[in-house]
């Protein structure tokens, strides 16, 4: 080796960054695009993933409202990403540096009693919803992914990054916690309260089961127009129309078979419980930050099933197969594009969906 090549090698080694840019939580209503230390391998099963594409979730807005008090000041937000593996710990066996992966919003140890039942959201070994919640998340140039082998999905050929990004959280959430928990069946009438990206995911995946009708309910006409595109048959703007009367008129005064709540405030949960017919199912998806009233005095005799849950992302392989087979078009979610240095603007646009028309904002590293 000549002297000049040694010099180049040394310069490159020095150039390895020790800091990166990231979107930090700064307390209720405050975000900060800040320079922070690079994540490092902490446990043998960790990987460091370079974030090529990430996005913002309704849950991030709940965090900013102060609804998720476990999120502490300085926490890097975000739990959705498509990226490239940069480093792996000694215990990582299925990933290698350079692999492209979907980072799931749910981290799974794969061995605990819940993970053994594919209930990854309930992982008791340090997994579950931790990214951008209990540990630093994906709204950054790099992210440390614990249990990397079982908390990422290899990127298949032929599906765009934007589509893959929708599998980090929103589409599995609408499908597992809305449609599967609500047991949507052929011929059902399904109401979805809240037509944000998660509610739209529930609408889109409910169609896989041939319901008789899907009714979308939202305060925002723009979101209701989107709901039609995603497969809703009927839309109700509950700022102007009383949804209960409209639903009863459609269902011989019985109510819907399945009411899916995809907002996360007391009023919409209570609304979902009033729309459901006797023997029907209420599937709550929303992240709640306040107690809700359960009207047992009205519901007790109606044999109603109420479910709630944190997504497991166990459906990711099924959803990937459906996208690959052109049975689901998740590309429609991407409405706005930003580079990471414009992250604060991306939050403003996503948080003002009624005016901006945003569904999912795509934030890329370059």
Residues that bind ligand NAD (CB under 6 A): 57-59, 61-62, 169, 173, 177, 193-199, 217-220, 223, 238, 262-265, 267-268, 285-287, 309-311, 353
- In the complex, what is the shortest distance from the CB of residue 219 to ligand NAD, in angstroms, rounded to a whole number? 5
Of the pair 41, 292, the CB lying nearest ligand NAD is at 292
- Phi, psi at 268, each rounded to 5°: -80, -30
CA distance 18 to 22: 13
Of the pair 95, 359, the CB lying nearest ligand NAD is at 359
Residue 272: name the closest of 226, 281, 172, 197 by CA.
281
Q: What percent of the chain is helix, strand and coil (3-state, nearest 5)?
A: 35, 25, 40
The residue sitting closest to ligand NAD, measured at its beta carbon, is 196
Burial tier of 295 (Cβ tally within 10 Å: 0-12, 13-18, 19+): exposed
Residue 194 contact partner, candidates ligand NAD, Zn ion, none, CB within 5 to 8 A by sort of partner:
ligand NAD
| Vertex 99: Cα angle to 106 and 22 (nearest 5) | 55
For residue 297, what are its two tokens? 């005095």
Which of the residues 80 through 109 are near Zn ion (CB under 5 A)? 109
- In the complex, what is the shortest distance from the CB of residue 272 to Zn ion, in angstroms, rounded to a whole number? 30
- In the complex, what is the shortest distance from the CB of residue 304 to ligand NAD, in angstroms, rounded to a whole number? 19
For position 131 contacting Zn ion by CB under 5 A, the verdict is: no
For position 112 contacting Zn ion by CB under 5 A, the verdict is: yes
For position 71 contacting Zn ion by CB under 5 A, the verdict is: no
| Vertex 249: Cα angle to 247 and 255 (nearest 5) | 45
Per DSSP, the three-state class of 16 is coil
Piece in contact with Zn ion (CB under 5 A), picked from 125-133, 138-146, 172-180, 250-258: 125-133
Piece in contact with Zn ion (CB under 5 A), picked from 7-15, 116-124, 149-157, 340-348: 116-124
Residue 198 contact partner, candidates Zn ion, ligand NAD, none, CB within 5 to 8 A by sort of partner:
ligand NAD
CA distance 34 to 23: 6
For position 115 contacting Zn ion by CB under 5 A, the verdict is: yes
- In the complex, what is the shortest distance from the CB of residue 91 to ligand NAD, in angstroms, rounded to a whole number? 28
For position 130 contacting Zn ion by CB under 5 A, the verdict is: no
Burial tier of 74 (Cβ tally within 10 Å: 0-12, 13-18, 19+): middle
For residue 11, give the H/E element and its range: helix 3-15
Interface positions with Zn ion (CB under 5 A):
109, 112, 115, 123, 125, 127
């Amino acid at each position: 080796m000549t002297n000049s090549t040694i010099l180049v090698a040394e310069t490159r080694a020095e150039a390895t960054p020790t800091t990166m840019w990231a979107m930090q939580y700064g307390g209720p209503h405050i975000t900060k695009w800040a320079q922070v230390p690079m994540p490092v391998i902490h446990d043998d099963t960790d990987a460091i993933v370079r974030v090529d594409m990430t996005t913002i979730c309704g849950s991030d807005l709940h965090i900013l409202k102060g609804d998720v008090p476990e999120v502490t000041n300085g926490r890097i937000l975000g739990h959705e990403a498509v990226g490239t593996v940069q480093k792996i710990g000694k215990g990582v066996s299925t990933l290698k540096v350079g692999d492209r992966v979907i980072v799931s919003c749910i981290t799974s140890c794969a061995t605990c009693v819940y993970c053994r039942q594919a209930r990854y959201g309930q992982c008791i070994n340090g997994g579950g919803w931790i990214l951008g919640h209990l540990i630093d998340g994906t709204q950054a140039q790099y992210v440390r992914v614990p249990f990397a082998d079982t908390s990422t999905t290899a990127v298949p050929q032929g599906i765009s990054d934007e589509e893959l990004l929708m599998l980090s959280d929103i589409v599995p959430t609408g499908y597992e916690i809305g449609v599967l928990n609500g047991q949507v069946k052929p011929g059902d009438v399904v109401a979805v309260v809240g037509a944000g990206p998660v509610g739209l995911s529930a609408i889109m995946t409910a169609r896989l089961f041939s319901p008789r009708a899907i009714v979308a309910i939202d305060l925002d006409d723009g979101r209701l127009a989107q709901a039609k595109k995603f497969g809703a048959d009927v839309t109700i703007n509950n700022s102007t129309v009383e949804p209960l009367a409209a639903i009863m008129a459609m269902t011989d005064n019985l109510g819907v078979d399945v009411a899916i709540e995809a907002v996360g405030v007391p009023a919409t949960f209570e609304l979902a419980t009033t729309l459901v017919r006797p023997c029907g199912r209420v599937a709550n998806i929303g992240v709640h930050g306040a107690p809700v009233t359960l009207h047992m005095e009205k519901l007790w005799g109606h044999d109603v099933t109420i479910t709630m849950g944190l997504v497991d992302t166990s459906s990711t392989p099924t959803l990937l197969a459906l996208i690959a087979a052109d049975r689901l078009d998740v590309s429609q979610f991407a409405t706005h594009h930003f580079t990471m240095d414009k992250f604060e603007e991306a939050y403003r646009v996503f948080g003002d969906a009624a005016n901006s028309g945003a569904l999912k904002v795509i934030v890329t590293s370059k």
